[in-house]
Every structure is written in structure tokens, then in C-alpha cells.
Structure 1
């Protein structure tokens, strides 16, 4: 377990990556492992979409359309999906269920994305999860072919780690600030 703790402890987001990217075949076993996240009802309410090559340009065009930009601002926005050779769209693909709430299904999709980002990092890839208001727009959703029951949670930008990448700096936490025990005594309820 120390290797796992060390890997996760040193994970960082890479806003800049090189032009290298894992192949589809290299992604498949990582996705299979990421699918092991807790999933109430085993609904698998998620899917992933690879964007490579021209698909990234089409995403940029959809973002420009959604933002209603033109000129230099449009060109800057259109170039954003080109910052990595591989984008992995993370889609919450909600299922009909009487027992599993929508928020819980979205949490599973987010869990898969985070697990995949950890697995990619452990394999030596640079990863950055990007989202934003444009992910929820009609032109972007149409570009991804989303169904009415689906919502785009963002993209994992994946590539090689540049040789000059600096280690991530994140302030450590005091875990006692975030982990507590339920009080053993029952407190009195105030009734109205």
C-alpha cells in the first residue's frame, strides 16, 4: 500500500502536456479498472468519449458557437481543445432507477473520471480535468452526441509530462479537520 499512497500523494494536474498520448489499446485496461468505483445498483451510469485529431477541432468550433465569439477571442477559445493530443470526455449517462438518485449516478461518473486520472498518472501521463459552463451547452453536447439523459462533466486532457514540469504544490491538510466521529451520545432534539 505505500506505493499506492505515494502515487496518489504525488498526483498533480498538468495544465501543459506534450504531444504524446496513450493509445486506445492502452486506455482499455485503465478504463476497466476505473469501472471498479463504488456504483450503487451497478448501473454504470457513465461513459467516456475519446477526442483525438479533428474531433478536438470540432469541439473548439462548438465552444466558439456556444460562446458566441468571433475574431481573436474565438481563435483562442477554438484552440483550447488542441492543448492535448487526447481529450477524454466524461459523461454522466443517467439510468432510470427507483432506488439510485441522479446525484448518486453523477457521483459514480465523477468517481470513474477521478480514478482514471489517477491510473493515467500512475502510468506516467500528465492529466488535467477541465470543465466549465461551455460543457453544458447545446452545441458542445451535440458535438459529443449526448442523449437527453446525459450530461457532460468535463474532459480529461491527457499527454506526456514535459521535461521541465515542476512538481505540484499543494498545502497539506490536517486530516482531523475533515474526519470526525459521530457523537456517541444522542443529543436532545428541539421540537416546535
Structure 2
């Protein structure tokens, strides 16, 4: 078993994954562990949504509808059938997508941005846990994350914001890990 430093230092995004995916029951202990993310006021200002099967197709249709609407509103040429088909296929890159949602709670002490940070922390912690469990994971966002069509599809309330999706699947045999250039930690850690 790796140390936390090794697990975090070895994390890489997996842009391509196999059709294997963790089950709902496999996810439950990982989600429970994510509840330990720093959370001022213990508001739990987040939720996660599993998208499998046809839900991914409906997400692709929402991407295409949003693209067509945005083009019309901008007075631009409508997207071609090929462009719409490409958009519709994006959620099919993995058999499991997990939507990461910031679910803002009323609070006199905790600002919405701080609640967003907690929700993002949950998404990152879950990606680390999934990677450590042997799954390939990539957090994807994009132009359609905050569109009305995608918002409706996910059943989000007015106090919720979608932060993106974790695309989760098996790691293909022979897959090369993504490359992340090392940093100079002293350049990122300063004293006041």
C-alpha cells in the first residue's frame, strides 16, 4: 500500500478508460471518506450524481442543445450535424461519470465561494481515492457545465452549481500515465 504522499504524487489523469467501472456499492465507502474534506461549519455543501447508461446519452443531447442555443443567441452559424454528434458523444468516453455539485447552504459565516472550495475538495479527494483503488479518472469541465440545459438534466436547484464530472473507468493495459512536469516547491511555498 502506498503512502498518502506517494498516492497523491502519483496521481495522473486518465483521458482514455475502459468500459469497466466501480459499482454504486464500490463508491459508497469512498464517498463516505470524502466527508472528511475541510468543511467550515460542517455544512456538507456538496453532492455527487452518478451518470451511467442512458443518462450519459441524455447528457450528450443536453450538450448539443446548449451548443445550438448558444450559437443562435450569438447570431452565429448553427453547429453542423458532425459537430453536434461529436458533442453528443463526449459523455460516452467513460461508462461512469460522477457529477460534482456545489450545493450552497444558507449560512451567516460561510460564503458561497468557501462552499465551492469544499465541493471541489470532495471532487479531488474522490478522484484520488478512485485512482488509488486502481481506476482511471479524469475531471472534465467545459463550456456546457453551467448551461441551462445541463443544469436541468442534473436536476440542480437554484442554489447549486455543477463543477464538472469525474470520468471513471478501467485503466487500459499498456496505458502510459499522463505527464505532469515537476515543480520547484520552494517557488510555491513562501513565508510572510
TM over 0.5: yes
Find the counterpart in structure 2 of residue 36 from structure 1: 36
**For residues 145 and 167 of structure 1, what CA distance do their matches in structure 2 show?**
35
Residue 89 of structure 1 contacts residue 155 of structure 1 at CA under 8 Å; is this kept in 2?
yes
Q: Which position in structure 2 is the counterpart of 1:104? A: 114
SS at 2:181's partner residue? coil
* TM-score normalised to structure 1 length: 0.92
Match of 1:13?
13
List gaps (5 residues or longer) in structure 1. 183-192
In the alignment, structure 2 segments of 5+ residues that lack a partner are 69-78
How far the C-alpha of 1:168 sits from its partner, in A, is: 2.3
Following superposition, the deviation at residue 70 of structure 1 comes to 4.3
| 2:157 alignment counterpart | 147
User: In the TM superposition, what are the counterparts of 1:72-111 in structure 2 within 5 Å?
Assistant: 72-111=82-121
- The structure that has the greater radius of gyration is 1
Looking at structure 2, the residues matched to 3 and 102 of structure 1 have their Cα atoms a distance apart, in angstroms, of: 33
Superposed CA offset, 1:11-53 (max 9, x none): 1000000000000000000000011100000000000000000
Shift of residue 3 of structure 1?
Answer: 1.8
RMSD: 1.1
Q: Distance in 2 between matches of 1:55 and 1:169?
A: 31
Partner of 1:134, secondary structure, is coil
Count of aligned pairs:
182
Which of residues 132, 139, 143 in structure 2 aligns to 1:129? Answer: 139
Cα contact 1:50–1:88 (8 A) shared by 2: yes
CA distance in 2, matches of 1:133, 1:76: 14
Of 67-76 and 157-166, the range deviating more from structure 2: 67-76
